[in-house]
Structure 1
Amino acid sequence: MATMTPPLAVDIDGTLTDGEGAVDPRVMTPLREWPEPVVVATGKALPYPVALCSFVGIPTRVVAENGGAAYLVDDDQLTFVGDREAAQRVVTRYREQGYEPGWGEVDLTNRWRETELAVSLDQPLEPLKELAAAEGMHVFDTGYAYHVTSRGVDKGAGLEAVCRRLDRSVDEFAMVGDSENDAAAFELVGDAYAVANADETAKLAADHTTEASYADGFLEALDAIRSA
């Protein structure tokens, strides 16, 4: 008997991309042809997943900023959760200690962030974590940036909120991702896949780890999800 294809949640960086950080064009058609809702869940600021949905040609259903921002075309509601001012205080004090966010004069990484701030991986992590803890904040190391975000705000909580708005249960979803910021959602969804390049936190939280890395791993996961 044929099984139903589940709704899908998917990360961007390290999951839909190649090893150089570019979105692999081979992911476009499978995403567009997925028969159930697709939610793009990312640490990137809101414009990035919104643009991705537009270029792929799928309805705009996104969780951005590690759960801090969410938009669904279904109800045309944009929501924000998190303390951007506290994140700014952390980064300000980080600068006062002689460090920088590391993105240059024109900081496009943080230009459109509403609920958190990101610091480059080439900057020291430990002082950032100490300052974040003093503000009651948390730091995610996504493998692409350090994200200073509010405690309790993560992709799991963001996806759960989106599911309520879609009138779907989060455990109906399959998810594919690669980083510790995916782990909270991995623990909630019905079927979680970490691609082979994922960090250990993601792999431990996932139900499966693919043999292939990056977009190849994503495509491998889709084949497994379809045949489950």
Structure 2
Amino acid sequence: MTPPLAVDIDGTLTDGTGALDPRVMTPLREWPEPVVVATGKALPYPVALCHFVGIPTRVVAENGGAAYLEDDDELVFVGDREAAQRVVDAYRERGYDLGYGDVDLTNRWRETELAVSLDQPLEPLRELAAAEGMNLFDTGYAYHVTSPGVDKGTALEAICDRLDRSVEEFAMVGDSENDAAAFERVGHSYAVANADDAAKATADFETEASYADGFLEALDAIRSL
């Protein structure tokens, strides 16, 4: 029996340039069980992805800080956005920048965390986050200042409760340390070949292929479970 599916976006549904691979859209649309898109991106990104793929909007965003389920039309936010703001304000006061320009579309819609570009210094950000009691995720695409206890695994488990499904029923595909907490909870977890060490160490399986090719390889394996 095909299990429900949770899937990351960046590094999993994308190619090596960060663009969405169009080949992923049909299998996501045709997946016979619920699909939950779980990402570190702000909420509009996975919502738009679900809309354009043509699947029900079931999303976890901001590394677990935001979750929306079309089935019950409830949007939930978890996390201390003000603490994240204090961290980045202190970072700026030390002369650093978030790295996204004046408009900063990366953070414009974030409700529970903030992101800093990978080309900015990490150690002072890590120090300031720790002083504020906040966590720091390196997703391979940004540094995310997040609240303790907020992660994709906790959010996915809450989504499953609302779907009246067990999180152990789910299979998940991802590529980063921010997927590890969800990998630990689902029944079957797959790290694509380009995944970081934390994701690979936690996943049940690692694909031979990278990026969207790895995702499609994982789907073939999941269908045969």
Equivalent residue number for residue 205 of structure 1: 202
Match for 1:90: what amino acid?
Answer: V
Superposition deviation, residue 30 in structure 1:
0.1
1:87-118 Cα distance to aligned partner (Å, 9 max, x none): 00000000011101000111000000000000
Match for 2:215: what amino acid?
Answer: F
Equivalent residue number for residue 121 of structure 1: 118
Runs of 4+ in 1 over 3 A off after TM superposition: none
1:39-70 Cα distance to aligned partner (Å, 9 max, x none): 00000000000000000000000000000000
Structure 1 CA distance for aligned equivalents of residues 99 and 157 of structure 2: 32
Which TM-score applies when normalising by structure 2? 1.00
1:3-152 matches, within 5 Å, as 4-152=1-149
Count of aligned pairs:
225
Equivalent residue number for residue 217 of structure 2: 220
Match for 1:147: what amino acid?
Answer: H
Superposition deviation, residue 157 in structure 1:
0.5
SS of equivalent residue, structure 1 residue 9: strand
Amino-acid identity (%): 86
Which TM-score applies when normalising by structure 1? 0.98
SS of equivalent residue, structure 1 residue 202: helix
Superposition deviation, residue 71 in structure 1:
0.2
SS of equivalent residue, structure 1 residue 79: strand
Superposition deviation, residue 137 in structure 1:
0.3
1:124-151 Cα distance to aligned partner (Å, 9 max, x none): 1111111001111000000000000001
1:159 matched to 2:152: no
Superposition deviation, residue 121 in structure 1:
0.1
Q: 1:196 aligns with which of 193, 198, 218?
A: 193
